[in-house]
Amino acid sequence: MTDRLIIVESPAKANTIKKFLGGNTKVVASMGHIRNLPKSKLGVNVENDFEPEYINIKGKGDLIKSLKKDAKDAKKIYLATDPDREGEAIAWHLAYILGIPEDEVCRVTFNEITKNAVKEGVKNPRKIDLNLVNAQQARRVLDRIVGYKMSPVLWKKVKRGLSAGRVQSVAVKLIADREEEIEKFVPQEYWNIYAMLQDKKSKNSFEAKFYGKDSKKVELANESEVNEVLENIKNEKFIVKSIKKSEKRRVAAPPFTTSTMQQEASRKLGFTLKKTMSIAQGLYEGVEIPGHGTVGLITYMRTDSTRISEVARASAKEYIEEKYGKDYYENRYYKTSSDAQDAHEAIRPTYVELEPNHIKESLTKDEFKLYQLIYNRFIASQMSAAVYDTMAIDINAGKYNFKANGQHLKFKGFMVLYVETNDNEEEEKDNQILDLEENEELKTKDVYAKQSFTEPPARYTEASLVKALEEKDIGRPSTYSPIITTILERRYIEKDKKQLVPTELGKVVNSLLMENFSDVINVDFTAKIENEFDNVAEGKEEWKNIIRDFYGPFEKTIKRVEKELEHVKIEDEVSDIPCEKCGRLMVYKYGRYGKFLACPGYPECKNTKPIVETIEEKCPKCGGNVLVKKSKRGRRFYVCENNAKGECDFISWNKPGTPSVEEKETKKKTTKRKTSTKKEKTI
């Protein structure tokens, strides 16, 4: 008989924990959930106060038998599943299967899988937190009701196999709404005037930008307004009116939360959310490091808090002062959002002494990249601010005003290690600080104007969509990745490079849901429900009250929509391509792999064909048309139309006429990349 049985979710986590605990202890894995709602039916008894009808997951019978045997042979059982609502629910289901009473002190949690944390957790077990369990049940049951009641409407009117969801459909709506904004966007013309000026003493040249007239800002909307200004300043002297020198501090970004880690890994590393979370899970559960054994390298990766422990803070201080010097350390606390659950620390390395480069050989290439990102972000968060000398110059040309700015980085601080990126990949520019004097006359080398046009809002990327979901209070750290993964797999959206674009199927589904379920599929409702789930987790609300309040009006809406749509037929979009078998114009249909052409004469004529997408560029080998195709993972590639005939072997991931990845990398090394939200034309 074993003294202790500890049950975790994964074998990797079990292997790591085993090595920390001596004595007669057995550590086994449940392989995630062991009970769930059935897939074949609603699984929620609406007649019995919405009681969930859980069943043992198919295929886990042998595992359950093994767990029961291990439990029978153990003096004490500890449930050490992940420290979040999902982990608490898994522990609750395990307790049910193993016959452990609800008030048994058997629950063990740790925010990091280190020897001290694991031993401390086992020393201080607690009861299963039913508030956390019920918060998870509330989400699971409500989402099941929404999905299983709304999806059949899509099956009847669009195609079988589609799904709708409280959160996933809101995410599709955001992407579809953004695409509609882009399509409806009308560019607005605007102009800027620039003066290339020179300090007569130092001969240093710099650029000043037109601001306005008589110290009032003026927007230049067309060429005639520009010409008027240019004519009026043609003979004017450019005089320095005022110089303001100051110092600017740039503070480091906080250590990672789940969402900021996902965003930064997307921007800096090109990782998908799913990939980021998978790698982070492995780093959390443990990696074999020579001389250290199996080590959990990071703290728990599902968190919305920027809080870090005092022990971690002290370790960072010691590391920074030793490696960079005392000037580079700054004791800094970050304010956690008022909406954050703050159950766990921010994501940080568990051992500061395990520098990324020191353990690189023990990690895969991608593990190293993400670990280095997490490590550097954490250390930088405890470092001194970067300090800039700045200069703001006001210049007059008669009644007209120009402005110029300069800044110089005089102390790098945290920037010696890490600089946060943003969606536009813009960085702080280091411009020259000029030695000018007030009332000084400047030499005019050139005055010119640029025409520009406003641009539509950018499409969402995975990073910017996560940011939007978080800002709008949609979903929680554990749900961001599954949301985006689901709508990609359902082919409601697709990726165009890094941009998320709604498919025709996504647009049709979104339109149908918005017309009929706008009270459920909307940002405000989704955010309100998330807050109610939080109240359940805190013991402030009874979980079934949420379901009761929701179900009555929702059921009436379902019945109304089914009745209204009963005799409504959504017409297929007609193409201009005739069916080669019967001559009818083919229509667009939606299948498992997206849009295709089908004969409307079905079942008499069953002809279907794929939609062929071509590009303007011709095949670089034979001059034939180039077809656009997609791999099983949805990645676009290019193939010559003569490839299928065996007459040409051209096939490439790279679009003909565009630089290859290698050429882009070479260009990056020699040319500083410039990004702008404005399209400019010089005149």
Total Cβ atoms within 10 A of residue 78: 20
Consecutive H or E run containing 190: strand 189-198
Q: Which of 78, 284, 300, 329 is catalytic?
A: 300
Total Cβ atoms within 10 A of residue 400: 21
Instruction: Tell me if 599 sits within 8 A of 615, measured CB to CB.
Output: no
In terms of DSSP bridges, do strands 25-29 and 2-8 run parallel, antiparallel, or are they unpaired? Answer: parallel
For 505, phi and psi rounded to 5 degrees?
Answer: -60, -45
* Token pair in block for residue 395: 């210049």
Instruction: Tell me if 7 sits within 8 A of 67, measured CB to CB.
Output: yes
Alpha carbon distance 233, 211 (integer Å): 13
Alpha carbon distance 660, 653 (integer Å): 9
300 in catalytic set: yes
Q: What is the per-residue burial (b if ≥16 Cβ within 10 Å, else e) of 541-578?
A: bebbebbeebbeebeebbeebeeebeeeeeeeeeeeee
Alpha carbon distance 489, 525 (integer Å): 25
Of 256, 270, 356, nearest to 300 by C-alpha is: 256
Per the DSSP assignment, residues forming a β-bridge with 6 are 27, 78
429 class by beta-carbon count within 10 Å (0-12 exposed, 13-18 middle, 19+ buried): exposed
> Mind telling me the catalytic residues?
300
